[in-house]
Structures are given as C-alpha cells and as structure tokens.
A and B are shown apart, each in its own frame.
Chain A
C-alpha cells in the first residue's frame, strides 16, 4: 500500500461545500448526494469536493477540527502524552494535504494549519519510531498501538516488517544448528 492509495481511501471522507450551482440530488452507488443549492452548505465526499473546487463550482468549508486553536490543543496534548492521543479525523494528514493543496483560499490561516498538522504528524511519527525501537530492542512479541491512523501505520509498515524479517533471518542465522546449513 502506498500513500497514494491511503489518500484515495481518505477521499471518501465527507466534507461540507458551498456549491455555486444548482443541481438536483444525484444518485450514486455509494449513496445519494445533494441536492445542491447555490449558497447552501451540503456534505459531499472529498473527491467530489475537490473536483468541484477545481472546476470552481464550489467553496470548501474546512472541517471543524481544521482550526488553529483546536489543532494547537491537539499538538500540546500530543507532546504531553507518551501514547497516541485520539485524533479528530482518521485521515487528518491526507485531508489537510488535499484540502490545503486545492482550496487553501477557502481555509483561513491555511499556512498555520499546515504547520500545525505537520507538527502533530512529526510528533506522532517520532513516537511511532520510538516505540518501534523499544519494541525491537526489548524483543517483544507484540505491542498495542491505539489511535494510529492508516497513513501513520502505512509509513512504517513496510520498513518495520522488512526489518523484522531481516532481523529474524539474522537471528536465526546466529543459532548454531541452522548456521551449519549454509
């Protein structure tokens, strides 16, 4: 799974837009969307929101948590605790990136938000690395990691699994009986 796929999954999240066109309900496999009334907020999936935004057919209303005060609070919380704190959206990183890249003009304090989310991300990923490190150094068999988002898991998965594999191989090589096989 690469980040693009995770991002793809994130695009199913709902976000509010204010359309500037009028359209009746549209019936899609995933559910009905609309009706779209100009000027009236309506919830649509991110993929549609971005598409409409690119065609200048709507303004995107940032999700509630995409607010400097709330993010600052989360950042502080994240820095304070050793464990992962619950995050307001399972796709916070992807959504931030998508929304800020495509509709920064609709989001107040876009730059600050970008920085804050990056901070939160960094903190969390650092924690993840740290715990992976202690997991390996203490040779634990299992570990519990709550409140991780898909993207976070994804960043470390291939690396962690591969390295565990290699370590396993190396360790098994160390065993006297096996080493003679080679």
Chain B
C-alpha cells in the first residue's frame, strides 16, 4: 500500500498529546500538555490557531462544532469550533479526566477520570449525566458504541469493562490488562475503539496485540498482531469505513490491519521512534494524523487508498473520484461492491497531495473538494448517502488522476496569506498586504539605482505581480461585476503617464503573467497568451494547449509552462514552451513535457540571470535547460540536500550561472518565508548528481560537466547578439581544460589509457599537446602515440571548421598585430591551434608541388618536421613546442626524429582533401572577418558540435561569399614561395633528398609516397650517429635562431618569450597546467 509518511512537525511542548479531525476533515485539532488546543489547516500550516483551554489538556474530542477537552483543572470543557470561544463546563471530576469522547452522533460525551469514575453527559444539557462506578483504578480510556447502547472503558485496575449505558451496569469485563497505580505508570494508554457504523467489534489494545471482541457475545473473536510490534500498543482507531484498524505503539510503530483478512497492510515507523499517543483517521479515510509524547504531529498520507494490495484484500470498497473542473465537482466515477451490507467509503482520492499537505494555494481548492465530494459522517446515519446509486459498478484499480496544480507566480507566497510576497526576484520584492487596516502593495528594489521603493494602495485587489528593471506588472482576477485587469507601472517610461490598465474580456481571468525586456505577457483562463508592449500596445495573442501554470520572461525569451494533460498518481503532466520574441521570433521549445520529480509539482520557474531557463519542483530539485544537448533539462541542485530537517525548505529567489549561485531563502519548517522578520538570502552551491562524487574522479567529472553546463550561456548569449564577459568565459575555458587535464593525469596514474584517450578527445587541441607531453613523460609511449594521432585529427578537424568559419590569416594578423581587440581565452587557445593550422595550410601548397597525388601519410611527416623546426618571429606554435618537448624529454631515450616519425606515420586516416579540396569546396561559405561574436561561435563549434556552425554558416554564406573570394585564391601561391624559401629541413628530409635516387633505382615503380615510406624505413636503419649527423646538417641549414629542445625549462622560457609579445594568456595557462601536473604526479 503506497502510504506516505509525512515529516513530523512540532506541535506542542513535550508531554502527552491528543489529536482529532473536524467533521469535514478540513482541520487537524491537537492538544498538548502546554494547555493549548491547536487547529491546523494542514500539516504545513505555519500559523495554527491556538486556543488556550487550561494548564494541561489530556484529551480532546470534536464533533458538530463542539470542542470538548479534558483539562487539568478537573473539568471537561466545551469550546466552540472553529472560533474557540469557551462554551461552558460540561462536567467536573475530583481529579482530571483522562479521556473524553463523543458518541457517533455527537449528542453525548463520555469521560473517564483518574477518580475511577466514568461519566456520560448530554452535550446540550450537561445536567443529564450518567455516572458509571465500578473500576478500582484511574480510567484510561472510554468508548461509546455507535448504537449508544454500550460504553467500554479501560482502567489501570487491569480490566476492560463494557457498561450498559441505560442501566449503568457492567455487561462484560475482561481482566486482560496489566495493573498499574496511575495513568502515568500505565504501560499503555489502552485507547479503546468500537467499529464504526455497526459497532460489531470492540478493539482493545492488549500488550503487543490488538484484540477484537464481539458485541453480541462479548467474546474474544480475533487478535491482530504483527512482528514489527515490539512494544505495547497504545492507541487503536478504526477507519471511517470500519474495514481497517490502525494502531500506534509505544515504540512509535504505526500499523494498519485489514480486519476482515487480519492482514497487516501498512507498517510505518515514527521517524524518531517516539511513543504515539494520539491517532485520528481522516473522515475520508485517506490519511491518519498522529501525535507523539514529544508533542509532534505527523501524518500518514494515502492510507487505505486503492492500491493493488488493499484492493485485493478488500474488494468491497467504495471509490469516489472527484475532479475539480472550474470548481464544479462532479462525481465521475464511483463503484462499490454489491454483496456487503456494510457500505462504506474507503475513498481513493484523486489527489495524492491532499489539502493537508498542500501548503500552497492549491489547498484552498482541495478543502472544498472534500467538503462537497466526500459524504459527511453525521453519525446519525450509519449508511452514507452517496453510496446508494453507485452499487454494481466495476471497481477501478488503475492509477489515480492527479489534481492539476494551480497557476502561480514564481517567487510568490500563497495568495491566502494576509502578508505575502507577490514576487521576489532578482530585481526586487513586491509585497502584498491585505489586512484589516490596509490593502496595499509595496514595491522595493534590491538596487535602489533602478527605482525608489513604491507604496501603492491595492484598490483593484491585485493578486499577481511581476517586476522587471522597467516596470511592475500587476493583475487581479475578475469578479462578477468587474473584469479581470492588468495594471502596468512602467516607471522607466520617459513621458508623464507612467501606468496603464487593460481590462480583459468578460469571463477571462488572468492566470499568470510575466515581464520581459520591452514586453509583458499574460496567460489567461481562456487558454490564451496575450502579449503587450511595455508601453501598453497589444501585440500577438496565441492559444495554449492547456491551462497555464506559470510564465517567466527574460530579455526576449518567454517561457510558459502549462498543463499538457492529466497526471496520474501524484505526478503533474506539464508542458513547456520557450519562445524567442524580439527580432528573430521563433519557438525554441515546442511544448515538450517538463520533467519533474515523482509526485511533485512545479514550485518555481524562471531564468538564470544569464538567461537559461530553470525550473524547481516541490521536491527541491533545480533543473536547468541544457541548450547544447537538444534542450534537455539537467538537474543541477537538490535544495533538500542542504536542509537540516525534513520540514525545512529553501525558497528560491534567483539563479545565477556566473558566479554559480542559487539564491534562496532558508525556511525553517515551511516552504515559504514570512514577510516579517525580513528573510535573509542565502546562497547554495550547485551540485550535479553524478555518481561517486566522493571519489576524486567523480568529483572532477561533476565539476567538469557543471562548468560546461554553466557556461553554455556564453554560446547562447553571443549567438543572440549580446555582449558577453569574455574574461569570465576565458576563466571557464581554462577551468574546464584544467579539469580535463587533471582527469587525464588521474586516469594515467590508474593506468587507464583508453580512458585517457577518451578524455583527450574532449580537450582542445593545445591541451592535447600537453597531454601528449604528460603521457610521454610518464613513459606511456603507446598512449602518447595515440594521442598524437588524435592531436592531428583534431588539428585537421579544426582546420576544416576554421576554413568554414573564415580566412584565418587575416584574423591571425589582427591578433598578432595589435591585441587591440579583447581576446577571450577561447580565442587565445584557439589561436594556438589556429596558427598551427595556418602553417599547415601554408605548407600544403608546397607539398602539392612536391607531388600531386600525395597522401597525407607522406605529406605529414615532412610537414611536421618542418613545423618542428619552424620558428618564425611573432608566431607561436605550442603544438610544435610540445611535440618537441615530448620527444626530447621522453625518458625512453629514443632519438627525436624517430619519435616524430613514429607519431607521424600513423596519421594515415586523415582525409587528403583538407588542404586543397576542402578549401575550395568550403570557400564560398567562409565567414567574414566578424569581430567578437564570430570568434566565439567558432569557439563553441570547436568544443561542442558542428551543428550550430553549420546553421550559422548557412545564414551567413551569402554575405561572405564575396569577401572570401580573394583569400584562398591569393594566399596559397604567395605562401608557397615563402614557405618554400623559408622552410627549414629535417635531417630526414636532407637524407631523403640524397637517397631518393637510390631508392628509385631500387624500386622504379615507387610513387612518391612509397619512396618516402621506404626512405623512412632506411633512415631508421641508420645508426644513431649517422642520423644525428643528418640532423646536425639540417640544423645548420635551417634558421640559426632555432631553439634547442633538449631542455624542458629552456623550452618553456622560449615559449614565454615568444608568446609574450603576442599575448599574455598562454604562458600563464601553461604554467598553471604544469603545476596541475606536478600536483597530480605525486
């Protein structure tokens, strides 16, 4: 049976407590040793009505608006309910009464006292009393049977006695209890209970069991027990249908039996294991309230609902479903068994979150649902009115529909509160006051530079509000006479008319509203969204597929969540639409389902400060849209993890991606904060639910993906033409690459080389070179080799993209020549790769000259070799550097050239057309020399996917075609010459030149490729000294400034000095990464 134990909450001070429901089940009434009776609207009610009835209250009973309490001043008092006014004293004892109870009709009250006496009093005329004497010890409990014939009492003298009320004589007595001297010493409270309606059975808690006695024969008919019960049973209560019996024990166990089947169908444990001393079954039968001796109140939700287990054991239940459609309650389905004469409702209510647990505005509705829907038990009639017509329909056992959640404004507290937050967002706070003196709205801005605080009288009765940097939008629902109104205070307006009001058509009510930049949107009860300009011009209207739940706006984005359909079993079925207003209008998310946790509802919806949609459900799970993974929602935080107690919550007021902050207000024991004292904002960190975050690997993975996710907005912002914080972006880039590097190092340490390569695939090109160096330094040659393949592949891939994007030379020149433009680190990093590309590119023509139908396999080595030697002024090629560094520092002691060759020969899978064909093929789609945003997109492209790039490409292809034309045509020939001249040669090349002929004579049918292959083979067979000679020769040939690569340190210095002029970022970057290595190597 899916019964849900709600968290306990503090109700009274420590000591004995008692609990009951009112007749309709709208309120929970508790009493405690602090002398108060509290009336709870729901378990989450933070302001229960308190009535002080005396110094200590021992027992409470409620029926027909009369609240009867047994108080420590030896009286049994009546108070009116729900007002709580004293309504006289019902009876007095010489010491205090221990238990009071009503009969089923509410006409009589029975009370058992510590002076051994039981009294039965007519409620209307307290002079009509019947006194039952016969017990020899304080009375523990009394119970009146439904037919008003008998009274059962249990006493500390160890007996349970049944009395005939009329004759005031004992009918039966069982000495089954343990004797004790006083109630306080008694092992059990021994609360008795008659089966409702028929009164056929009397349930008596005896030690670890519950015994059932038959009314007709006064014999023991059965015993209910369970292995879970380890301590004595304190309280028993029957379900309103009489089918089930619930018991609470001293050890805090809560059990429910199906009496017919003698089957324990529900076992729950008090969360702290305190003694359960009061229990009450909700009139609808779906929940049980219980209290413990520590003064706490708890609730079991969803008991005796129509779960398979319960319906199989109890096929004779009546199910009543009520759907709430515009407050018309219709009994849509009911079913009852036909062969049982006890017709009783064990309702399976459609709502899993009933009114008692619904702390938000839904509760209002739910209360009335119950009121209208569930037959009231007046007690006078044992058979319920609703039952009759329902007989003989089939039993419905499927999932129960969920009550659709009501529309709400994100960041607002429930409407029924007198003082509430109408909205709290990143701009400011709008508070609504609706008490006796005042109906007003206070608008306050976090940043007083936006606008000064405002105080408005709320004559229209606005209940919804939103606040932006430009305006305050208010709305009220319509009444019979007045239409629903939207009011906008456009304070940033430059003319004198700062506000406007719009009436909605008759019968159409505002359900949700939001403000964006320069626009306002309103969702109405007519399933429509109306857009307005901020100045009050009506703009587009469109229909929604379902009733709106809430909306949020940010810049040009409008996010709408609506009911997609009926949810079942407590789940909501919500759909989400994301629209891009402004210049390029489109729908980004077309009504996909909004993911929520199981059995939860939407609690907050909005955008991060950077403009990424975010939602939070009632389980506290924060989800953020991941635009790079097809607009999926990623859980980024669970606020409940940070809560100290289960009834604490965080009320979110804002989400920021940079810095990563979840701004929220901690609420102790409630879901939302009160307006006073002014709540303070706390900041929670994000934490993606990755596996094994206790391990270093898991942690880094979580950090990496969090960083990736939280920096998606850069791509989005730049693609939608906003300025972005390039500083921040570069930071993020660096962080991500560092994390990858750390993970790489970790995997290396764990000898997970495959994983290393996987990680390297995620790295940017320049970092891969670092990885290669790391790998070779830690003597993982196989890994280093694979990585160098990967590096080449990346380089090519990148080059392709590069070519699609733009003519690189220009950009490079711009970068190198001025640095006047601000560079993002992406750029910085990209630049490295970029230059390399350029160099490669420049090499190609030369290669092409050398042999026309070459394969890359052959081309690459020479090109690479040349690259390695190449050191042009002002051009930095870290790839080259690290390639050299790797080989020189490689502890294997292999000659460098060999190593380079090794790594080169395997690069055969690179497609040939890179240089020539692809360039020509892609030329028309090159991008213009666009400044910032372009390069950023390029960055995204590099890292994420080509999809975005291709779409961009299409958009821009037209304009760029012309600009690009001269570039590929002109550059290659020019560079051919240059490169040819400048290009230094490797030892191998020199050797090859000399030996080409001999190879060709040996193998006349060799093509160029084969020649080089053969050459390499031969070159390798040479002795080390010979090879060295060749290398020396090559050195002499080439640029005299060529650096020495023997020493790692020197290399770094060189790099620094080289790069110093061009850009500052890189050396820092490298050293940081190096230090990361150092750390990881230990």
- Chain B residues in 8 Å Cβ range of A59: 678
- Chain A residues in 8 Å Cβ range of B663: 39-40
Knowing A39-B426, A40-B663 touch, does A61 contact B446 (C-beta < 8 A)?
no
Quick check: which of A16-24, A82-90, A132-140, A163-171 contacts chain B, the rest being far away? Answer: A16-24
Please tell me if the beta carbons of B680 and A21 are within 8 angstroms of each other in the complex. no
- Which residues 655-702 of B sit at the A interface, judged by CB distance below 8 A? 661, 663, 677-678, 680-683
- Chain A residues in 8 Å Cβ range of B449: 21-22
A3 CB-CB contact with B under 8 Å: no
A41 CB-CB contact with B under 8 Å: yes
A108 CB-CB contact with B under 8 Å: yes
Please tell me if the beta carbons of A40 and B447 are within 8 angstroms of each other in the complex. no
Please tell me if the beta carbons of B680 and A20 are within 8 angstroms of each other in the complex. no
A38 CB-CB contact with B under 8 Å: yes
Please tell me if the beta carbons of B681 and A40 are within 8 angstroms of each other in the complex. yes
Task: Scan B371-396; emit 1 where CB is below 8 A from any A CB, else 0.
Answer: 00000000000000000000000000
Name B447's contact: one of A22, A56, A61 (CB within 8 Å). A22
Name B448's contact: one of A16, A20, A40, A41 (CB within 8 Å). A20
Please tell me if the beta carbons of B681 and A38 are within 8 angstroms of each other in the complex. no
B445 CB-CB contact with A under 8 Å: yes
In the bound complex, what is the Cα–Cα distance between A16 and B683 (angstroms)? Answer: 14
- Chain B residues in 8 Å Cβ range of A56: 448
- Chain A residues in 8 Å Cβ range of B426: 39
Name A41's contact: one of B445, B447, B680 (CB within 8 Å). B680
Knowing A39-B426, A40-B663 touch, does A18 contact B680 (C-beta < 8 A)?
yes
- Chain A residues in 8 Å Cβ range of B683: 40
Whole-angstrom distance between the Cβ of A153 and the nearest chain B Cβ:
34
Please tell me if the beta carbons of B677 and A21 are within 8 angstroms of each other in the complex. no
Please tell me if the beta carbons of A39 and B677 are within 8 angstroms of each other in the complex. no
Nearest neighbor of B429 in chain A, beta-carbon distance: A39
Please tell me if the beta carbons of B681 and A21 are within 8 angstroms of each other in the complex. no
Nearest neighbor of B661 in chain A, beta-carbon distance: A40
Whole-angstrom distance between the Cβ of B650 and the nearest chain A Cβ:
15
- Chain B residues in 8 Å Cβ range of A16: 680
Knowing A39-B426, A40-B663 touch, does A20 contact B681 (C-beta < 8 A)?
no
Please tell me if the beta carbons of A20 and B446 are within 8 angstroms of each other in the complex. yes
- Chain B residues in 8 Å Cβ range of A40: 661, 663, 681, 683
State which size class the interface on B falls in: 10 to 19
Please tell me if the beta carbons of B445 and A38 are within 8 angstroms of each other in the complex. yes
Nearest neighbor of A109 in chain B, beta-carbon distance: B677
- Which residues 426-445 of B sit at the A interface, judged by CB distance below 8 A? 426, 428, 445
Please tell me if the beta carbons of B681 and A39 are within 8 angstroms of each other in the complex. yes
Task: Give the one of A39, A41, A56, A108 with max B CB within 10 A.
Answer: A39
Please tell me if the beta carbons of B681 and A41 are within 8 angstroms of each other in the complex. yes
In the bound complex, what is the Cα–Cα distance between A59 and B447 (angstroms)? Answer: 12
Task: Scan A73-111; emit 1 where CB is below 8 A from any B CB, else 0.
Answer: 000000000000000000000000000000000001000
Whole-angstrom distance between the Cβ of B443 and the nearest chain A Cβ:
13
- Chain A residues in 8 Å Cβ range of B446: 20, 38-39
In the bound complex, what is the Cα–Cα distance between A18 and B426 (angstroms)? Answer: 13
- Chain A residues in 8 Å Cβ range of B678: 59
Task: Scan B571-608; emit 1 where CB is below 8 A from any A CB, else 0.
Answer: 00000000000000000000000000000000000000
In the bound complex, what is the Cα–Cα distance between A120 and B892 (angstroms)? Answer: 74
In the bound complex, what is the Cα–Cα distance between A40 and B446 (angstroms)? Answer: 9
In the bound complex, what is the Cα–Cα distance between A108 and B675 (angstroms)? Answer: 13
In the bound complex, what is the Cα–Cα distance between A56 and B661 (angstroms)? Answer: 26
Whole-angstrom distance between the Cβ of A65 and the nearest chain B Cβ:
15
User: Chain B interface mostly helix, strand, loop or mixed?
Assistant: loop
Please tell me if the beta carbons of A18 and B681 are within 8 angstroms of each other in the complex. yes
Please tell me if the beta carbons of B677 and A108 are within 8 angstroms of each other in the complex. yes
Please tell me if the beta carbons of B447 and A20 are within 8 angstroms of each other in the complex. yes
Whole-angstrom distance between the Cβ of A112 and the nearest chain B Cβ:
14
- Chain A residues in 8 Å Cβ range of B680: 16, 18, 41, 61
Task: Scan A14-56; emit 1 where CB is below 8 A from any B CB, else 0.
Answer: 0010101110000000000000001111000000000000001
Whole-angstrom distance between the Cβ of A53 and the nearest chain B Cβ:
13
Whole-angstrom distance between the Cβ of A157 and the nearest chain B Cβ:
38
Whole-angstrom distance between the Cβ of A136 and the nearest chain B Cβ:
47
- Chain B residues in 8 Å Cβ range of A21: 447-449
Whole-angstrom distance between the Cβ of B481 and the nearest chain A Cβ:
39
- Which residues 400-439 of B sit at the A interface, judged by CB distance below 8 A? 426, 428
In the bound complex, what is the Cα–Cα distance between A93 and B448 (angstroms)? Answer: 32
In the bound complex, what is the Cα–Cα distance between A59 and B677 (angstroms)? Answer: 13
Whole-angstrom distance between the Cβ of B742 and the nearest chain A Cβ:
27
In the bound complex, what is the Cα–Cα distance between A39 and B428 (angstroms)? Answer: 8
Nearest neighbor of A58 in chain B, beta-carbon distance: B448
- Chain B residues in 8 Å Cβ range of A18: 680-681
- Which residues 73-116 of B sit at the A interface, judged by CB distance below 8 A? none
Task: Scan B356-372; emit 1 where CB is below 8 A from any A CB, else 0.
Answer: 00000000000000000
In the bound complex, what is the Cα–Cα distance between A108 and B681 (angstroms)? Answer: 17
Nearest neighbor of B449 in chain A, beta-carbon distance: A21
- Chain B residues in 8 Å Cβ range of A61: 680
Whole-angstrom distance between the Cβ of A34 and the nearest chain B Cβ:
12
Whole-angstrom distance between the Cβ of A66 and the nearest chain B Cβ:
13
Whole-angstrom distance between the Cβ of B123 and the nearest chain A Cβ:
43
In the bound complex, what is the Cα–Cα distance between A20 and B447 (angstroms)? Answer: 4
Whole-angstrom distance between the Cβ of A174 and the nearest chain B Cβ:
62
- Which residues 5-55 of B sit at the A interface, judged by CB distance below 8 A? none
Nearest neighbor of B444 in chain A, beta-carbon distance: A20
Nearest neighbor of A108 in chain B, beta-carbon distance: B677
- Chain B residues in 8 Å Cβ range of A41: 680-682
- Chain B residues in 8 Å Cβ range of A39: 426, 428, 446-447, 663, 681
- Chain A residues in 8 Å Cβ range of B448: 20-21, 38, 56-57
Nearest neighbor of A39 in chain B, beta-carbon distance: B446
Whole-angstrom distance between the Cβ of A113 and the nearest chain B Cβ:
13
- Chain B residues in 8 Å Cβ range of A22: 447, 449
- Chain A residues in 8 Å Cβ range of B681: 18, 39-41
- Chain A residues in 8 Å Cβ range of B447: 20-22, 38-39
Task: Scan B628-665; emit 1 where CB is below 8 A from any A CB, else 0.
Answer: 00000000000000000000000000000000010100
- Chain B residues in 8 Å Cβ range of A38: 445-448
In the bound complex, what is the Cα–Cα distance between A50 and B445 (angstroms)? Answer: 21
In the bound complex, what is the Cα–Cα distance between A64 and B834 (angstroms)? Answer: 55
Whole-angstrom distance between the Cβ of B654 and the nearest chain A Cβ:
8
- Chain B residues in 8 Å Cβ range of A108: 677
Whole-angstrom distance between the Cβ of B768 and the nearest chain A Cβ:
35
In the bound complex, what is the Cα–Cα distance between A42 and B663 (angstroms)? Answer: 13
In the bound complex, what is the Cα–Cα distance between A57 and B445 (angstroms)? Answer: 12
Whole-angstrom distance between the Cβ of A63 and the nearest chain B Cβ:
12
Task: Scan B443-480; emit 1 where CB is below 8 A from any A CB, else 0.
Answer: 00111110000000000000000000000000000000
Whole-angstrom distance between the Cβ of B3 and the nearest chain A Cβ:
38
In the bound complex, what is the Cα–Cα distance between A18 and B445 (angstroms)? Answer: 12
In the bound complex, what is the Cα–Cα distance between A83 and B1020 (angstroms)? Answer: 87
In the bound complex, what is the Cα–Cα distance between A151 and B982 (angstroms)? Answer: 78
In the bound complex, what is the Cα–Cα distance between A22 and B469 (angstroms)? Answer: 14
Whole-angstrom distance between the Cβ of B150 and the nearest chain A Cβ:
52
Nearest neighbor of A22 in chain B, beta-carbon distance: B447
In the bound complex, what is the Cα–Cα distance between A22 and B448 (angstroms)? Answer: 9
In the bound complex, what is the Cα–Cα distance between A40 and B424 (angstroms)? Answer: 13
Whole-angstrom distance between the Cβ of A70 and the nearest chain B Cβ:
15
In the bound complex, what is the Cα–Cα distance between A39 and B429 (angstroms)? Answer: 10
**What are 23 A-B contacts with C-beta separation under 8 Å?**
A16-B680, A18-B681, A20-B445, A20-B447, A20-B448, A21-B448, A21-B449, A22-B447, A22-B449, A38-B447, A38-B448, A39-B426, A39-B447, A40-B661, A40-B663, A40-B681, A41-B680, A41-B681, A41-B682, A56-B448, A57-B448, A61-B680, A108-B677
| Top-5 shortest CB links A-B | A39-B446, A38-B446, A38-B447, A20-B448, A108-B677
| Apart from A20-B447, A41-B680, A108-B677: 16 A-B pairs, beta carbons within 8 A | A16-B680, A18-B680, A20-B446, A21-B449, A22-B447, A22-B449, A38-B446, A39-B426, A39-B446, A39-B447, A39-B663, A40-B661, A41-B681, A41-B682, A59-B678, A61-B680
Residue positions of B touching A, CB distance < 8 A: 426, 428, 445-449, 661, 663, 677-678, 680-683
